[in-house]
Chains A and B, each alone.
Chain A
Amino acid sequence: KNEVEQSPQNLTAQEGEFITINCSYSVGISALHWLQQHPGGGIVSLFMLSSGKKKHGRLIATINIQEKHSSLHITASHPRDSAVYICAVGANTGNQFYFGTGTSLTVIP
């Protein structure tokens, strides 16, 4: 049983396309994180959110607490956006974190 499910697992897009990555979770959460892992392995935290919507540049993250669902959108995608995007949730009981298996995004010029 996976507490966090992401879709799609793999995604290839043409430069400029609008991209959506989805995350569903089954546990009560204190916060949801979107992480970016580049091919070199480094991990960057993109967003942490517990309600509503956040925007940073071309990236937008939304969360619906009632539906236990979050989406990460990338507008005007660029090859440098190619990375693995990981959804993670911090449970609201205890300190456990649960991670999705990631979405591998490739943006083709």
Chain B
Amino acid sequence: GAGVSQSPSNKVTEKGKDVELRCDPISGHTALYWYRQSLGQGLEFLIYFQGNSAPDKSGLPSDRFSAERTGGSVSTLTIQRTQQEDSAVYLCASSLAQGWGQYFGPGTRLTVT
């Protein structure tokens, strides 16, 4: 079956512009996670959705970052007024529920110039 998909695969934007990154989780997976991996650094947790519960936003680095998940399926991560330090690979993962194994998408490589 189809895995987790993300779009776009690559995004180059100018500093100060807003960007939207999309994640399509595996059908039926109630849990969805966003992470990012900055150059030379490890993975960093950003935000977690579980079903219809309020998301855990504890990993978002600033109020320029927000995410939503519509209808318990597709999720969009929005970065407003992008900065160069936002350049990273943004990864989405989904799982059947919290505590189950996560399936990762291919990531979106964001470059802020």
| Chain A interface (Cβ < 8 Å from any Cβ of B) | 30-31, 33, 35, 41-45, 48, 86, 88, 90, 94-102
Q: Quick one: which of B43, B45, B89 contacts A96, CB cutoff 8 A?
A: B45
CA of A43 to CA of B106 in the docked complex: distance in angstroms?
A: 7
Asked if B86 CB lies within 8 Å of chain A CBs, one says: no
Binding site for A on B (CB under 8 A): 33, 35, 41-45, 48, 50, 56, 58-59, 89, 91, 93, 98-104, 106-107
Contact A43 B104 (CB under 8 A): yes
**A92 — nearest CB in chain B belongs to which residue?**
B99
Majority-rule SS of B interface residues: strand
Residues of A within 8 A of B102 (CB): 33, 45, 48
Majority SS at the chain A contact face: strand
Given A30-B99, A44-B104, A95-B48, 6 additional A-B pairs, CB 8 A? A30-B98, A42-B106, A48-B100, A90-B98, A101-B41, A101-B42
| A41→B103 CA distance, assembly (Å) | 14
Across the interface, name the chain A residue whose C-beta is closest to B56.
A95
Q: Tell me, rounded to whole Å, the shortest Cβ–Cβ distance linking B31 to chain A.
A: 9
| Cβ contact within 8 Å between A88 and B43 | yes
Task: Quote the shortest CB–CB distance from A46 to chain B (angstroms).
Answer: 9
Q: List 14 A-B contacts (CB under 8 A).
A: A30-B99, A41-B106, A41-B107, A42-B107, A43-B93, A45-B93, A45-B102, A45-B104, A90-B99, A95-B58, A95-B98, A96-B56, A97-B45, A98-B45
Cα(A42)–Cα(B5), bound, Å? 12
Given A33-B101, A94-B58, A95-B48, residue A43 in contact with residue B91 (CB < 8 A): yes
